[in-house]
Chains A and B, each alone.
Chain A
């Protein structure tokens, strides 16, 4: 009997090590824009955003392009959130990068999105990266694939895109965002903040739905002091 419990213990350790090895295993060598830069300077950029800047609620999302939950959140929950909360002027939605070190091409994908963003196609590129997420599963160098995504995202000057990727033009910006996330204690992706500082949906890594955001925004709007109604001035 005791021997069986010892066997279970040994097996548990072996299986634990295998799971760890599976999670650590990587793919092929990464291109230049895929690594962290040696130095980091702030270029003043604070993320691409959706919605009105003066909306009553600001949500900041720290995302990782290689993370499957981020992909499903972006493709399944975001359309409803955009329709109900962003387009109605209730929410200003800010997207920040938080490439996790275990994701080999997360930083590279974030960089591709920034290079598309330099030509005004950030959200289109984000859409490509998340909707055609199979690249995150192959472990292969996705440079060519991302270039085709850029083309599909209507990035006009592909030469400039190539140059941007080769030079790692936005590597510092992405690292700055990651460090900012570190300071805010982002511990996984996606992580959401209300008005820049209040971490949301922290209980047990629950993945929020559009309904959760609607409830949150409604409650924030209901509890915030009403803006004084602008009256015509009397003189």
Chain B
């Protein structure tokens, strides 16, 4: 139960980071709050900031939303003893983690700019992924 709670809380934070970046990409809000390094604007205006016609942050919103909803559903008293939820959470987290690995690779080696918000999101999804794997092992 603790693992699922941790995943839900992490996903909630991740969701709001993604919502902020998404709304910013859509033109809401002023300059991105990113510190003086300027990396966020470079990343957000790079050709890789749009994936299949949508801002990358949109996929973050969808992904974190999915993890949050599944984690909360898994926390219902009736769902607690069911192990399938752990598999589902680990699968979702793995997809998110792989996408993040790809995006971080782009930031480091292609765009050559680091966006703090993206690093924040990468840290959150990595934690979710680790917790979900631990939960999966413990439930076996």
Q: Could you list which residues of chain A lie within 8 angstroms of chain B, going by C-beta atoms?
A: 1, 4-5, 8, 11-12, 15-16, 18-19, 22-27, 64, 66-72, 75-76, 100, 102-104, 133-134, 136-139, 188-189, 204-209, 212
Stretch binding the partner chain, chosen from B25-33, B91-99, B102-110, B126-134: B25-33
Q: Which of B18-77 contact A (CB under 8 A)?
A: 19-20, 23-34, 36, 38, 40-42, 44-47, 49-50, 53-55, 72, 75, 77
Please report the C-alpha to C-alpha distance between residue A136 and residue B53 in the assembled complex, in whole angstroms: 23
Residue of B nearest to A208 (CB): B53
State whether B26 touches A205 (Cβ < 8 A).
Answer: yes
On whether A22 and B20 interact (CB within 8 A), knowing A8-B12, A133-B41, the answer reads yes
23 contacts between A and B (CB under 8 A): A5-B72, A5-B75, A11-B12, A15-B13, A24-B29, A25-B30, A66-B30, A66-B31, A67-B27, A68-B25, A68-B27, A69-B55, A72-B49, A72-B50, A75-B45, A102-B30, A103-B27, A136-B31, A138-B36, A205-B26, A208-B53, A209-B53, A212-B53
Please report the C-alpha to C-alpha distance between residue A139 and residue B54 in the assembled complex, in whole angstroms: 26
Q: Which 9 A-B pairs have the closest CB atoms?
A: A23-B29, A137-B41, A15-B16, A67-B27, A139-B31, A68-B44, A72-B45, A137-B31, A19-B20
State whether B12 touches A15 (Cβ < 8 A).
Answer: yes
CB-contact partner of B41 in A25, A134, A207, under 8 A: A134
- Point out the residues of chain A lying under 8 angstroms from B31, CB to CB: 27, 66, 104, 136-139
- Point out the residues of chain A lying under 8 angstroms from B77, CB to CB: 1
- Point out the residues of chain A lying under 8 angstroms from B40, CB to CB: 137
- Chain B interface residue count, CB cutoff 8 Å, equals 38
Please report the C-alpha to C-alpha distance between residue A151 and residue B29 in the assembled complex, in whole angstroms: 29
Q: Tell me how far the C-beta of B95 lies from the nearest C-beta in chain A, rounded to whole angstroms.
A: 21
Q: Tell me how far the C-beta of B22 lies from the nearest C-beta in chain A, rounded to whole angstroms.
A: 10
State whether B38 touches A23 (Cβ < 8 A).
Answer: no
Q: Tell me how far the C-beta of A18 lies from the nearest C-beta in chain B, rounded to whole angstroms.
A: 7
On whether A207 and B55 interact (CB within 8 A), knowing A23-B23, A23-B24, A69-B25, the answer reads yes
State whether A68 touches B8 (Cβ < 8 A).
Answer: no
State whether A68 touches B45 (Cβ < 8 A).
Answer: yes
Decide if B136 is an interface residue (CB 8 Å cutoff): no
Q: Tell me how far the C-beta of B17 lies from the nearest C-beta in chain A, rounded to whole angstroms.
A: 9
